[in-house]
Structure 1
């Protein structure tokens, strides 16, 4: 049996499988002891799905707030009970009467920090129950609006009834809701016909691996060469070099003073050993004088004493 892997694979999820299906596939092919995905894609959506393996799962939360870019195809002139093609479709207006200029004028209201109400067919919970379960039972409940960030919307094509947009947005944004509300603004109704995620932080669709490429790499034994290092998610933080003695202390969860070239103005930094391998994410204590390991990425080189942490599978949504 091959050794377990540590790192990140950027996968091109096709339409059909769930994000959890992809995690299970990758876990089987890589012999990873731990695996989790970097942001849920609905089964009917395709595109970039980062999958974190082994010790890389310890930094999974740093994918939560990275920008994501989606290519959305919106069908104008009808509404959907789920705001996408999976729901009950109802004709609502003549999309042919909507001009390109009208579309351009409507888009800015969906950019910036906006209030968005989650659709009933969503995993958001109310009184401990997912909204989609209530929706399937024919119930509709009040949903509080939430602030989301839409950095940009690029209009790529308007060929009635289909509108194609590239949308860069932050955590928790529902592209389906943008489609639905855009249709309301234009007075003709709209729903999301297809969705492709083209970027998640540093991971772009051009470099993402198809299932076929993934399976071939596993068969040929070079899958480990396709892994991105976990510190790719942490490059916004300063770096420090730690001594061999501190590496051992990190493995035992100890606090320590001696960090060479330590960035004193920051409360967190990446810690590397003399071989250039990231061993931990360090956080200053309340006094600002001691460093403690908040995330340990030592792999199999040293015994861990911090415990396995939460199960990362599916922990990252949005």
Structure 2
């Protein structure tokens, strides 16, 4: 007999403000226990040193985390000039020191502008990328260097926010797969003195940004269960960038049986994804059903569906 999973079967997305010094997995487990949730997952690792936006998904929302892993990100990054480290950030061992040249605003702006657009990055050894089933940082801690392939990333914006002694603060907007530590090391090399990342805060990922209130661990700990649940966004917020289609009850039944349905797909191209809403037989009103893929004009197939009509917050 299958063992019943402990916890509440709620679904939704929490915009969590991860504190410094905590791994993303530790943050996930702390939040999951506070909500007493059956199932939870996060949408992309933040380094322990980093703070800021870590969307945590519960229940049916975990089915849609892949669409956020591929999303663009925005950060504020603190840059310390004149020192390089083996990790590329302030937590690593110092590799070299060099005098910091005098930089006027125009020269610094010109240097930063060279790092926008398509760039080739070499992933750092201190990263969670896997080699033969092990993360690269495990090899790095053993003093083993693994050959890595450079990969192309997009850096949409690198803007100067503030100057400070021997460094500055940047506003950075990047594509998935971009290592901000590597970007900072490359900027330091271009300036000629080396640099490392000494602070990082994520402000945005995909459809979520700093305009939507994040909640801290301290705040969650003093909330009631109802207050915590009220902070959850619906599962469909993870895929809010996708177009919306509607299905009638008969279409809902067909989809749940794995069948294709006919829908007015309009200008959606074959192969594209869309959110699907409808009123299934077991729901009292319009609800999010999941994602469908356009297989031909006017026809869709199920791509990723919620298990029941109760795929909303407070399930």
TMscore range, shorter length: 0.7 to 0.9
Deviation for aligned residue 1:91: 4.5
Aligned to 1:263: 266
Say which of 210, 216, 224 aligns to 1:210. 216
Instruction: Give RMSD over aligned pairs.
Output: 2.2
Unaligned runs of 5+ in 2: 1-5, 280-284
Aligned to 1:16: 21
How high is the TM-score relative to the length of structure 1?
Answer: 0.86
Say which of 302, 305, 311 aligns to 1:296. 305
Tell me the secondary structure at the aligned position of residue 65 of structure 2.
Answer: helix
Aligned to 1:165: 170
Q: How many residues align?
A: 298
How high is the TM-score relative to the length of structure 2?
Answer: 0.87
Deviation for aligned residue 1:108: 1.7
Q: Report 1 or 2 for greater relative contact order, CA contacts < 8 Å, sequence distance ≥ 6.
A: 1
Structure-2 change in CA distance of 1:69 and 1:264 (3 Å): closer
Deviation for aligned residue 1:153: 0.7
Q: Distance in 2 between matches of 1:111 and 1:85?
A: 24
Q: Distance in 2 between matches of 1:265 and 1:128?
A: 39
Say which of 273, 279, 292 aligns to 2:289. 279
Work out whether 1:109 is the aligned partner of 2:118. Answer: no
Deviation for aligned residue 1:277: 1.3
Q: Distance in 2 between matches of 1:2 and 1:85?
A: 39
Work out whether 1:125 is the aligned partner of 2:130. Answer: yes
Q: Distance in 1 between matches of 2:216 and 2:100?
A: 35
Aligned to 1:193: 198
Deviation for aligned residue 1:272: 1.0
Unaligned runs of 5+ in 1: 303-318
Deviation for aligned residue 1:299: 3.5
Deviation for aligned residue 1:20: 0.7
Does structure 2 conserve the Cα–Cα contact (< 8 Å) formed by 1:84 and 1:191? yes
Cα offsets for 1:179-201 (capped at 9, x unmatched)? 11111111111111111111112
Cα offsets for 1:20-42 (capped at 9, x unmatched)? 11211222222322211111101
Deviation for aligned residue 1:96: 5.2
